[in-house]
A and B are shown apart, each in its own frame.
Chain A
Amino acid sequence: MASNKKDNLKRVLLPAASILIFIIIWQIVAEFYVNNPFLLPSFTDVISAFLSMAFGPKGSLPKDLWYSLLHFAIGMVAAIIVGIPVGVAMGWFKDVDIALNPLIELIRPIPPLAWIPFAIIWFGLTNAAAGFIIFIGAVFPILINTYTGFREVPKVFIEAGKVLGCTNNFSLIRRVAFPSAIPSIMSGIRISMGVGWMCLVGAEIFGAGSGKYGLGKNLWTYYNLHQMPSVVVYMLILGFIGIFIDLIFRHYVNKQMLKWREEDL
């Protein structure tokens, strides 16, 4: 017990100490060695930039956040709506797998950002254009994990389902294969959220979006204005939100959908 408590304390104190030391070194290097906020803004520069953006009159931070989350949601919802059914069809029906596999393997290696020109041509400068880039990045991990989850359903579950009266494809998919594949599907969604979040920044920087707002968009604006402390603020916010989305997702999935599993996602 005692050593357990000590362990837990260590788990808090050691990371806190390393972060603190990192900040101190950063501050010292920026202030005394580089001494140029354009090359390396100091920690305190970044904090004051954050405060004026969050509470100052001109800050667009809340709107940027809102629009980025909107782009992200459009892309993720579309990726889930397309990725899961296609993955299910390919995982369950051999012919669909044979037919679609080469096509998917052709499209998949194209980096999502390479789609930006067409995203803008097809969707214009809209939220959907940014959503499309995120969709391209997010759909393949979901599709492939759904497919793998379906291929790896233990045969005995399918057979047990059959002898218990689940005899058609639809009820076998719904009652047996899909629940069995959920852990794999959920980890696919998790991976795709990471990829999608990265695509978001690229898409917005390259102008796919509805114009004025977006975390990636205005990160680039601040760079053009040479306001590097604000750029760092946006970088940090992008990182934090990425972690936050992942934490919420994992918490929800582990508590609600995977409580039957021994290990968490």
Chain B
Amino acid sequence: MSLLSIENLRKVFSEGETDEVVALEGINLEIEDEEFICLVGPSGCGKTTLLRIVAGLDTPSSGVALLAGNEILGPDPERGMVFQEYSLFPWLSVIDNIEFGLEMKGVSKKARSETSEKYLELVGLKQFAGSFPHELSGGMRQRVAIARALANDPKVLLMDEPFGALDAQTRNMMQKELLEIWRRAKKTVIFVTHSVDEAVFLADRIIIMSPRPGKIKEIVAVDIPRCRERTAPEFANLRKYVLSLMGEGTI
């Protein structure tokens, strides 16, 4: 049995009203334990909605999402989420934001600071430990949000375009680090991105969605061994293939 099964999932917003939106329709998906999944698709195809249902922040209109056989009924720190929009608590310093989840779990002060320092270093923001979110740039804030989700050590990590605001260099570095964490900490990751390049670099499987209503169009397994070379011909070929499936031509 797979870790996460999504069966016949359908999500409709404002059902029965004139502004009804079918965000997701007939989604069937099996995700294995420790699998790295990338979700790609045009804006508005329901990627965030799918992630939110897995997080337990939205409920499906019909169908179910099961985690290890149990229906997902609400949020749980076992399913961590990095939100698409800025979600850091502005009243907490960077370090306190990262330690928030650990504090909720009742972890001791000492163990908390060890963990938060580790992740702060990982995202390269050590000297900003005491800063408040409004003092950071957009990309830095997003890195703190990633550190906050990771510090909580969730089994399933849901990431909604986490690297969208980062420059290319930081982005590449963060991708490598994320893979390293994923490998070491044996997490299951569902990662939303607009970048096919990023998806091919990261994923075990790429799920390509199409909009109105949001459906799974194609699932592509990435069989290139890690660590992947962006310049390798197989990488370029796969990228072209995914792009062609997304209807963006082959260039």
Do B81 and A163 touch across chains, with their CB atoms under 8 A apart? yes
**Which residue, of B56, B86, B100, B134, has the highest number of chain A Cβ atoms within 10 A?**
B100
Whether B92 sits at the interface, judged by CB under 8 Å, is yes
B87's partner among A160, A171, A175 (CB-CB below 8 A) is A160
Do B152 and A164 touch across chains, with their CB atoms under 8 A apart? yes
Alpha-carbon separation in the docked complex, A176 to B90 (Å): 10
Interface 0/1 of A22-38, CB less than 8 Å to B: 00000000000000000
Alpha-carbon separation in the docked complex, A160 to B148 (Å): 10
CB-CB under 8 A for A164 and B77, given A260-B90, A261-B90 = yes
A260's partner among B75, B81, B86, B132 (CB-CB below 8 A) is B132
CB-CB under 8 A for A163 and B57, given A156-B83, A171-B104, A261-B134 = yes
Do B152 and A165 touch across chains, with their CB atoms under 8 A apart? yes
Whether A166 sits at the interface, judged by CB under 8 Å, is yes
Alpha-carbon separation in the docked complex, A159 to B74 (Å): 11
CB of A177, distance to nearest CB on chain B (Å):
11
Interface of B is mostly: loop
Give every chain B residue within 8 A of A260 (Cβ-Cβ). Answer: 90-93, 132-134
Q: Which of A128-167 contact B (CB under 8 A)?
A: 156-157, 159-167
Give every chain A residue within 8 A of B79 (Cβ-Cβ). Answer: 163
Give every chain B residue within 8 A of A159 (Cβ-Cβ). Answer: 55, 57, 75, 81, 83, 87
Whether B214 sits at the interface, judged by CB under 8 Å, is no
A164's partner among B85, B86, B93, B101 (CB-CB below 8 A) is B101
Whether B41 sits at the interface, judged by CB under 8 Å, is no
B100's partner among A164, A167, A180 (CB-CB below 8 A) is A164
Whether B184 sits at the interface, judged by CB under 8 Å, is no
Give every chain B residue within 8 A of A157 (Cβ-Cβ). Answer: 87, 89
Do B75 and A180 touch across chains, with their CB atoms under 8 A apart? no
**Which residue, of A164, A259, A260, has the highest number of chain B Cβ atoms within 10 A?**
A164
Whether A262 sits at the interface, judged by CB under 8 Å, is yes
Closest residue of chain B to A160 (Cβ to Cβ) is B87
Whether A182 sits at the interface, judged by CB under 8 Å, is yes
Please give the number of chain A residues whose Cβ is less than 8 angstroms from any Cβ of chain B in the complex.
Answer: 21
Alpha-carbon separation in the docked complex, A220 to B82 (Å): 63
Alpha-carbon separation in the docked complex, A259 to B77 (Å): 29
Query: How many A-B contacts are there with CB distance less than 8 Å?
Result: 70
Do A160 and B104 touch across chains, with their CB atoms under 8 A apart? no
Q: Which of A201-234 contact B (CB under 8 A)?
A: none
CB of B65, distance to nearest CB on chain A (Å):
15
Whether B109 sits at the interface, judged by CB under 8 Å, is no
Alpha-carbon separation in the docked complex, A140 to B56 (Å): 37
Whether A242 sits at the interface, judged by CB under 8 Å, is no
Whether A179 sits at the interface, judged by CB under 8 Å, is yes
Do B75 and A182 touch across chains, with their CB atoms under 8 A apart? no
CB of B54, distance to nearest CB on chain A (Å):
11
Do A179 and B89 touch across chains, with their CB atoms under 8 A apart? yes
Interface 0/1 of A117-130, CB less than 8 Å to B: 00000000000000
Alpha-carbon separation in the docked complex, A167 to B74 (Å): 9
Whether B110 sits at the interface, judged by CB under 8 Å, is no
Give every chain B residue within 8 A of A164 (Cβ-Cβ). Answer: 77, 80, 100-101, 104, 148, 152
Give every chain B residue within 8 A of A162 (Cβ-Cβ). Answer: 56-57, 74-75
Whether B226 sits at the interface, judged by CB under 8 Å, is no
Interface 0/1 of B131-165, CB less than 8 Å to A: 01110000000000000100010000000000000
Closest residue of chain A to B158 (Cβ to Cβ) is A163
Do A182 and B91 touch across chains, with their CB atoms under 8 A apart? yes
Q: Which of A27-66 contact B (CB under 8 A)?
A: none
Alpha-carbon separation in the docked complex, A156 to B148 (Å): 15
Interface 0/1 of A168-186, CB less than 8 Å to B: 0001000110011010000
List 18 A–B pairs whose Cβ atoms lie within 8 Å, in order of A's numbering. Answer: A156-B87, A159-B57, A160-B89, A163-B56, A163-B80, A164-B148, A165-B76, A165-B101, A165-B105, A165-B152, A167-B74, A167-B76, A171-B104, A180-B89, A180-B91, A182-B91, A260-B133, A261-B90
Extra contacts, 12 of them, besides A156-B87, A162-B75 (Cβ < 8 A), are: A157-B89, A159-B81, A159-B87, A160-B88, A160-B89, A162-B57, A163-B55, A163-B75, A164-B101, A182-B91, A260-B134, A262-B134
